[in-house]
A and B are shown apart, each in its own frame.
Chain A
Amino acid sequence: MDTPLAVRARGIRQCFGDVVALDGVELTVPAGQVHGLVGPNGAGKTTLLGLLLGLAVADSGTLEILGTPVGRALAVPEGVAGFVDGPGLYPSLTARQNLAALASLRGAPALGIDDVLEQVGLTDVADDRTRGFSLGMRQRLGLAAALLTKPRLLILDEPSNGLDPAGKHHVYGVLTRLAAEGTAVILSSHRMDDVEALCSEVTILSTGRVAFSGPLAELAGENDELGYRIVTSDPRAARTVAGGTAGVRIVDEHDVLVIAATVPVLDVLVKRLVQADIAVRELAPVVSPLEAAFLALTEPTDLEISR
């Protein structure tokens, strides 16, 4: 069965004076997918999100959003919501008044306000002025404002900034539910754990170009060597087993064993540890696969540095 596309961008180029912000960017996001957009500062993430929200139009390339070609600024179709550079809130209004004013602006009934406030966990502060809101609360209210429009494409710039664990739980829950209901979500983040937890696919931007785009699983290649941190019941014996396993490189060997290995070699090592009657209490990558790939794809090479 065909999956409808929420975003189809081809050859997007955007310049600000002499600065090339986006250079031949391709992006495909089907409906119902949570898509991560990562990249170092200045990679072009916010510019791309701005194009998707319709704040600007690309210098060249084609952009289709929810099946509609976008040819000029502020002409994205209905059903697109979100924010870049933080949500726009008016501090003299309460949370509820902010949402009611927005609903009124769009000519929508204010019936869903309580519901969206509950979804993002702001019911208790609904009648407080947003002047005193923390960054996390502002982010959640921004998400609530986007939800009011019942979006089919949700664009979020660093949505987990400033969120406490409870806030993060609410936001994760909302985004996951939206995706399950068919809404495409594109979020940028500097936090790889957020992207890994939420996104099924990711696009890595580096200096305005797409360095990688695809499923997370493809990003962390099985044959790439990664660092792992292993906590066992007998660190000394574990070190001996690891030292005797072909393909394992011991990086650190104090109370916690840190090794470098590929995924197949790691599998062998775990089997051997268990066979040696050593309990494996914790096994985790030192750097997440996504973060490792991110660093590998976006950090300048020695050759580039020498230039």
Chain B
Amino acid sequence: MTAIVAETPVVTEVSVARGYRFELVKLLSQWRVRLLVVACWLAPAVFVAVVSRQASLPVDTLFGRWMHATGWAGPLVLLGFSGSWALPLLTSLVAGDVFASEDRLGTWRHLLVAVRSPRRIFVAKALASLTVILLLVVGLVVSSAISGIAVVGNRPLIGLDGHVLSASDAAGKVVLAWACALAPTLALAAIGLLGSVALGRSPMGLLLPALVALAMQIVQMLPVPVAVRLALPGYGFISWNGLFTGPAQLKPMLIGVVVSLAWAVAATALAYHLFVRRDFTNPAHDGSGRRAIVVGALPLAILFGITTLVVAPATGATGSGIEQDKVQRALATEFAHLYRLQTTQLNRPGVTEQQLQTSAACTKGGDQVAARGPGNDWRCVVSWHVPGVAAAGSAIYQLDINPVGRYVADGDGPKEVNGYFLVRTPAGDEPNPLWQFDGSVELLPSTP
């Protein structure tokens, strides 16, 4: 004789906190993740220490030419490199594999029986991968900053418009710049989660954030309209440049952060949608195939379209955003700031920007083309007045402006101003700030 058990056993739910801890243990036990943690906490320090002691500096990278001058240039050089390569790769290796690894190991059923909720599994995995990514990013910042300060020193930093930021101001802006870069990093991490869920154990899932980042970099290098540029989360890796001008170019930076966060939320929601609808009874599941592409990629493409349509009228941005008057204004302002810096270096009588009355007259392509848009054929004549001297000084600068508004100005003028690469200061020879310098043209019409 048999009978049904009378008591009703209670189903104990596994909390997200426990699931998070479980996922974190699994992630941190992987040699690949451990290697990344060690690399992110040590490699930047070694890089900054080695580069800061070399005679030749990475002048192609923003702030690279100031690595001998201040320890705060190191974290910014690293941020420029990380936005292009390191952060997309880190998100690929962590978030891009966090779901696919369970497919590879065949552990989904085990995990589901233990946790009993795909929702909580998703949240725990997303939080754990986010934690590891944050740990890696913090490692990059802390390691490069400590190394820079220890090797070069806690000294003022020259901004992208030539003005001098005090050491404490530079420190705050370095932290803020990395915080801004977190937004596009989160967007790539979310795309990694989406790829990991949608494409299963396929290597494409793992590579997705890196591929998307590469595609967005390529778009940023093309002469596309500003609205398109700002509507991509990849712009968040560039927009922090605006923090280092005075006044700071906050509008493009905020747009970059908001767009990146919108992508992060959308991609995470899509990944969640696909994950909770997955059939876990099928052990041969290997991604959701065509449906995943439609459900995953299409909404993001629509988001991109909508963002472009919103950004264009909201900002009044048209064309490339690089126009003659903006270039002239940016160059004149920066020249004036750097002239003052050079004056201080050379112990000359003090002078203010107002006294200098600096102006710039720029043409592009020798007047053969309209003076707008990126290119290395910008030629500018900078003029200034020194108090007590009747004749105006002038120098010619060749500008190479890239599509995101960054430029390198290479000057030729009076030998006392920019005739030599080095200037002789009481403290010894130092790089001439007016010989060659980096700057930034704001792509949007105005800064609030």
Binding site for B on A (CB under 8 A): 1-6, 8, 16, 28, 30-31, 47, 50, 53-56, 64, 66-68, 74-93, 97, 101-102, 104-107, 145, 152
Which residues between 275 and 329 of chain B lie within 8 Å of chain A, taking CB atoms?
280-283
> Cβ of A106: which chain B residues have Cβ within 8 Å of it?
12, 14, 18, 114
CB distance from B112 to the nearest CB of A (A): 6
In the bound complex, CA of A4 to CA of B9 (Å): 13
A79 contacts B107, CB within 8 Å? no
CB distance from B358 to the nearest CB of A (A): 61
Is B354's beta carbon under 8 Å from chain A? no
CB distance from A143 to the nearest CB of B (A): 13
With A85-B283, A105-B18, A105-B19 in contact, do A74 and B116 touch (Cβ < 8 Å)? Answer: yes
With A8-B4, A50-B281 in contact, do A87 and B110 touch (Cβ < 8 Å)? Answer: yes
With A77-B10, A88-B106, A102-B114 in contact, do A64 and B29 touch (Cβ < 8 Å)? Answer: no
B113 contacts A53, CB within 8 Å? yes
CB distance from A254 to the nearest CB of B (A): 46
A90 contacts B9, CB within 8 Å? no
> Cβ of A83: which chain B residues have Cβ within 8 Å of it?
109-110, 113
Is B85's beta carbon under 8 Å from chain A? no
With A88-B106, A92-B30 in contact, do A107 and B12 touch (Cβ < 8 Å)? Answer: yes
In the bound complex, CA of A28 to CA of B11 (Å): 22
Binding site for A on B (CB under 8 A): 1-12, 14-15, 18-19, 21-22, 25-26, 29-31, 105-118, 280-283
A3 contacts B114, CB within 8 Å? no
Residue in A16, A74, A105 whose beta carbon sits within 8 Å of that of B112 in the complex: A74
CB distance from B240 to the nearest CB of A (A): 36
Listed by A's residue number, 8 A-B pairs whose Cβ atoms lie within 8 Å are A28-B2, A67-B6, A67-B7, A85-B106, A90-B26, A90-B107, A105-B21, A106-B114
With A90-B105, A105-B19 in contact, do A54 and B26 touch (Cβ < 8 Å)? Answer: no
CB distance from B315 to the nearest CB of A (A): 48
With A28-B2, A87-B110 in contact, do A75 and B21 touch (Cβ < 8 Å)? Answer: no
A5 contacts B5, CB within 8 Å? yes
In the bound complex, CA of A104 to CA of B19 (Å): 9
With A105-B114, A107-B12 in contact, do A3 and B2 touch (Cβ < 8 Å)? Answer: yes
In the bound complex, CA of A83 to CA of B6 (Å): 26
* Interface SS of A by simple majority: loop
> Cβ of A64: which chain B residues have Cβ within 8 Å of it?
4
In the bound complex, CA of A75 to CA of B12 (Å): 10
In the bound complex, CA of A204 to CA of B76 (Å): 69
Residue in A5, A50, A79, A92 whose beta carbon sits within 8 Å of that of B4 in the complex: A5
B9 contacts A68, CB within 8 Å? yes
CB distance from A42 to the nearest CB of B (A): 14
In the bound complex, CA of A3 to CA of B109 (Å): 31
> Cβ of B107: which chain A residues have Cβ within 8 Å of it?
88-90
With A2-B2, A78-B11 in contact, do A88 and B26 touch (Cβ < 8 Å)? Answer: no
B4 contacts A4, CB within 8 Å? yes
Chain A, Cβ-Cβ closest to B28:
A92
> Cβ of B105: which chain A residues have Cβ within 8 Å of it?
88-91
Residue in B4, B31, B281 whose beta carbon sits within 8 Å of that of A56 in the complex: B281
In the bound complex, CA of A30 to CA of B1 (Å): 10
Chain B, Cβ-Cβ closest to A29:
B2
CB distance from B16 to the nearest CB of A (A): 11
A54 contacts B116, CB within 8 Å? yes
CB distance from A198 to the nearest CB of B (A): 21
B29 contacts A92, CB within 8 Å? yes
CB distance from B127 to the nearest CB of A (A): 15
Given contacts A1-B1, A68-B8, A78-B11, 19 further A-B contacts (CB under 8 A): A2-B2, A2-B3, A4-B3, A5-B3, A54-B116, A56-B280, A66-B9, A75-B116, A78-B12, A83-B109, A87-B110, A88-B105, A89-B105, A89-B110, A92-B30, A93-B25, A101-B22, A104-B18, A106-B18
Tell which of B22, B29, B31, B105 has the most Cβ of chain A within 10 Å. Answer: B29
Tell which of B5, B21, B109, B114 has the most Cβ of chain A within 10 Å. Answer: B5
Residue in A28, A67, A84, A92 whose beta carbon sits within 8 Å of that of B31 in the complex: A92
Chain A, Cβ-Cβ closest to B8:
A68
> Cβ of A16: which chain B residues have Cβ within 8 Å of it?
281-282
